[in-house]
Structures are given as C-alpha cells and as structure tokens.
Amino acid sequence: MNTLNHFDTPQLELLHRGKVRDSYRAPSGERLIVVTDRLSAFDSVLETPVAHKGAVLNGLAAFWFDKTRHIIPNHVISLPDPNVTLAQEAEPIRVEMVVRNYLTGSMLRGYQQGQRTFSGVTVPDGLTKHQQFPEPIVTPTTKEESDREITPENLVSEGWVSQELYEQMRVKSLELFSFASAWMAERGIILVDTKYEFGLLNGELMLIDEIHTPDSSRFWSAEDYARNPETAEQMDKEYVRQWLIANKQDGLYPRALTPEVSAEATRRYLDIYERITGAPLPTGNEVTPGGDVQARLVGNLVRAGIMKETI
C-alpha cells in the first residue's frame, strides 16, 4: 500500500482526527502528528488519497520550521517517520494569521463584488486580478466551525488574544513571510499568500501546525506570472480544485479522483518539494519493499519506542 489514507492504533490515544492530520498522545506525553495522504477540497475529504502528499507536507513543514528557528521557536521535536512529527504540546491560539501579498482567492472574489475592507485592512479601488500589494497585509480569521474574517480590534474585544499577543503574532507572521518570500524568489517561486498558527508553551509564543506547505499556501511560478499575471497557475492543490470544478455534476463535486488526476497531483506535490528544498523527497520506498507506507510508519514508530511491536 503506497498511500496512507487512514492510520489507527489502539496503542495510542487519539486526540484529534482532522481532514489531513491525525494527532495522538505519545507515551512520553508529547503530541504525535500523523500527516496522511488524504486531500480535502471545498470542505470535503476526497475518497482518493494522493501518494506521497503527506510526506511532502510533513517534510516541507519540517524544512521551514528548521529554517525559521531564528525568527521564532516552533513545536517540532523530531520526525520519527516521513509522515510523522513528534511535537511539543502547546496551547493553541484559535486564530489564523493570513498573510497576503497579491489580490487573489477569496479576497479577489470579495473585491470583485465591491468589498474593500478585509479583516480591518482597506485596499484601494482599481486593483486588478493577481496584482501585488505595495507590501504584504495581514488578514486574520478565527478558527471556529466556520472560520470568519475578523479585525484585530475584535480579536481583542472578543477575547481571542490580548493586544500585546496579537502584535507579537502580526510581527512574527510578516517576518516569516518576508524570509520565505526571499528564499522562494531565488528559486523562481512566488509565495502568494499563506497562513500561520501559533501556540503558547510556558507563556512563550511558538509556531505550530504547518508552515509554507502547498496546503497552507499559494505558490506561483515567477516565470509564469511574468508572462501573464492574470493567468498565473498555482503550484499547489489548485490543480485538483479546478478538475473538481470542471467535472461537477448536478451541483456536486466528484468524490474521487481518476488515476490520472491523482498521479498528476502526486507529481506536482513532489515537484514543489524539490523546487523549494533543492532535493527530491525521501519517499521511504528504499526502506520498505513495495513502498508500504503504513508498514514503514509502524516500523519506524516501534524503532522510536513510541509503539510496541505486535505479534
């Protein structure tokens, strides 16, 4: 089995099962995050997993967590497997810090309908599709059942964060975005927008969740954008979204991908990993004959002392 669509074990306490990530309590008390190959689009998890997607997300996040330690500490302890992160247990702050540098996505749709203020940030009339802002802007959202735009003032008045904590998060988000944008620009990639999540550990702000992955960010090819900004193609899961839109029937998106679409999605995830890090993804197939991801994962967790070998 060369995909990891589901992982479950009675040996570990399940803390949370998300659309892509499953969290368990490690025997040592830390959080064990298993990043699966599930793919979510339009608030739904597709039936078809995408090979190597979880390892790409986990590996890229680890890459960026390591590169940005000089900006802010993060929750990563180790990666016992390509699909797994052992992390410190921080108290999550229920706010997503969304940093945008171009008019696109949901912001573009709102702008085209006449909206000019987004999470307290007002942008001028006359902007065009995919136009770059003079400088990156921060448009926070709440982390609820349905995330919503919110101003910094309302984040404070509603009790999500203190003014001081929000300002820390804002400054660190812009520093992270600036650092990553420069890194990617040298590799022909535009970091269009992204989101950051933070937590508190012993009162100290730290970066958690994921960072600068194809699931949490938009990437464009700088060459493609230079040719025609309005048709620049996203180097992330937008390919799958567009296929779902094109194959919508009776108002419903397909629940599964064709083998060809799944294979192309895998190729794109592997490509963005190599373009950013400069090295191909270590798939683990060399370690486990046949590329059985689940068997490899369990074996690695046993070797790390996180699970016990079963007979």
Task: Fill in the DSSP letter of residue 149.
Answer: B
Q: Do domains 13-89+260-304 and 91-231 have the same CATH topology?
A: no
* Domain ranges, ordered by start, for the chain: 13-89+260-304, 91-231
Instruction: Compute φ and ψ for 190, nearest 5 degrees.
Output: -100, 125
Euclidean distance between CA atoms 7 and 35, whole angstroms = 9
Question: What tens-digit pLDDT sequence spans the chain (311 residues)?
Answer: 589 999 999 999 999 999 999 999 999 999 999 999 999 988 889 999 999 999 999 999 999 999 999 999 999 999 999 999 999 999 999 999 999 999 998 999 999 999 999 999 999 999 999 999 999 999 999 998 778 999 999 999 999 999 999 999 999 999 999 999 999 999 999 999 999 999 999 999 999 999 999 989 999 999 999 999 999 988 878 889 889 999 999 999 999 999 999 999 999 999 999 999 999 998 654 444 456 899 999 999 999 999 998 75
Q: Could you tell me the CA-to-CA distances from 35 to 203, 209, 215, 233 in Å, in that order?
A: 27, 11, 12, 26
With beta carbons less than 8 A apart as the criterion, state whether 84 and 35 touch.
yes
Classify residue 235 by burial, with Cβ atoms within 10 Å: 0-12, 13-18, 19+: buried
CATH architecture type of domain 91-231: 2-Layer Sandwich (3.30)
| Other CB atoms within 10 Å distance of the CB of residue 77 | 15
Of 2.60.40.10, 3.30.200.20, 2.70.50.60, 3.40.50.300, the CATH number of 13-89+260-304 is: 3.30.200.20
